[in-house]
């Protein structure tokens, strides 16, 4: 009798656990299945740039995230649609580190097929607009344009192996009377170890872009990053020559204009006295 009761109890318990397992599995499957849609909507809502992340896959047993053939597109006012054409992204992380600090990533592989650096007819470029709207959390022209200040300290991240490849960069300028399109085939390939700071990636990348004569593209992205609270100091550290030289030239022009104005004023005053 006791054994019979025990079998019934265990049977009910296993049935309950099986149902719970099915519900949890269904919830996890649904979350992972529609995760790309959630991220695409979040990107577009926050920036106005549309995205296609349909190939995003979370590999639970491998503790990895894979995303081949993804794209981020510019808003329609930029005329040229491609912003980032991603060939492949692979991130392998340590699950236990998700609940600690730092977050440990064993491998971070990023291959970009093409970057589109586009200047709209009104003079704005897509890189700056993307970062500025990402920081504000809203599209340009939305009803509430106030920026949301970051309240939490950024989490520490350790990337044991980092690799980056950029195949090509397209520069399009619609602000000119005749739109100009330039294609650059790049051979940028970087491999780094034990990365803990964005500067460790951006500094060698800036050198590669300078080597290719594309510093103006890299600086455009950095100027956009100035809008991001957590990256403002990094962008400033990599932009001193460009920003300071421009500010210095502007100051020199203003001071020169003021001195010239004073000279002209003195000349007129002298003539009037005569």
Does a structural domain hold residue 254? no
**Which two tokens mark 226?**
């100035």
Does a structural domain hold residue 2? no
Q: Which residue has the higher pLDDT, 27 or 135?
A: 135
Domain count, the chain: 1
Does a structural domain hold residue 174? yes
Does a structural domain hold residue 17? no
Which residues are within 8 A (CB) of 182 and not within 5 positions of it... i.e. 6 or more apart? 170, 171, 172
Taking the C-alpha atoms of residue 61 and residue 92, their distance in angstroms, rounded to an integer, is 11
Does a structural domain hold residue 71? yes
Got the DSSP string for 236-248? HHH-HHHHHHHHH
Which DSSP letter does residue 92 get?
E
- Residues 153-185 pLDDT 10s: 667 889 999 999 999 999 999 988 888 999 999
Does a structural domain hold residue 205? yes
Please, where are the H alpha helices in 98-214? 126-136, 199-211
Which DSSP letter does residue 177 get?
S
pTM over 0.75: no
Does a structural domain hold residue 114? yes
Which residues are within 8 A (CB) of 84 and not within 5 positions of it... i.e. 6 or more apart? 71, 72, 112, 114, 115, 116
Which residues are within 8 A (CB) of 153 and not within 5 positions of it... i.e. 6 or more apart? none
Does a structural domain hold residue 23? no
Region of 63 (left: φ > 0; alpha: ψ -120 to 50; beta: rest) is left
- Residues 223-259 pLDDT 10s: 888 777 667 777 777 775 544 444 444 444 445 445 5
Range of the domain at 102: 46-238
């Amino acid at each position: 009798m006791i054994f019979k009761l025990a079998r019934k109890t265990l049977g009910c318990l296993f049935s309950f656990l099986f149902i719970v397992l099915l519900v949890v599995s269904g919830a996890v499957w649904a979350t992972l299945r529609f995760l790309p849609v959630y991220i695409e909507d979040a990107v577009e809502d926050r920036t106005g740039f549309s995205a296609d992340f349909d190939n995003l896959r979370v590999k639970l047993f491998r503790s990895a995230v894979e995303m081949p053939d993804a794209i981020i597109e510019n808003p329609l006012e930029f005329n040229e649609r491609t912003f980032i054409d991603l060939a492949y992204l692979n991130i392998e992380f340590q699950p236990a580190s998700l609940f600690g600090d730092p977050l440990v990533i064993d491998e971070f592989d990023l291959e970009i097929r093409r970057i589109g650096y586009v200047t709209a007819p009104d003079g704005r470029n897509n890189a700056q607009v993307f970062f500025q709207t990402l920081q504000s959390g809203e599209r340009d022209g939305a009803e509430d344009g106030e920026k949301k200040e970051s309240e939490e300290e950024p989490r520490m991240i350790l990337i044991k192996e980092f690799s980056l490849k950029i195949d090509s960069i397209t520069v399009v300028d619609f602000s000119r009377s005749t739109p100009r399109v330039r294609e650059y085939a790049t051979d940028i390939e970087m491999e780094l170890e034990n990365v803990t700071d964005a500067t460790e990636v951006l500094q060698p990348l800036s050198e590669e872009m300078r080597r290719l004569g594309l510093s103006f593209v890299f600086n455009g992205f950095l100027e956009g990053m100035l809008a991001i609270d957590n990256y403002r100091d990094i962008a400033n550290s990599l932009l001193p020559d460009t920003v300071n030289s421009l500010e210095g030239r502007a100051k020199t022009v203003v001071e020169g204009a003021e001195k010239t104005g004073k000279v002209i004023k003195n000349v007129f005053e002298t003539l009037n006295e005569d």
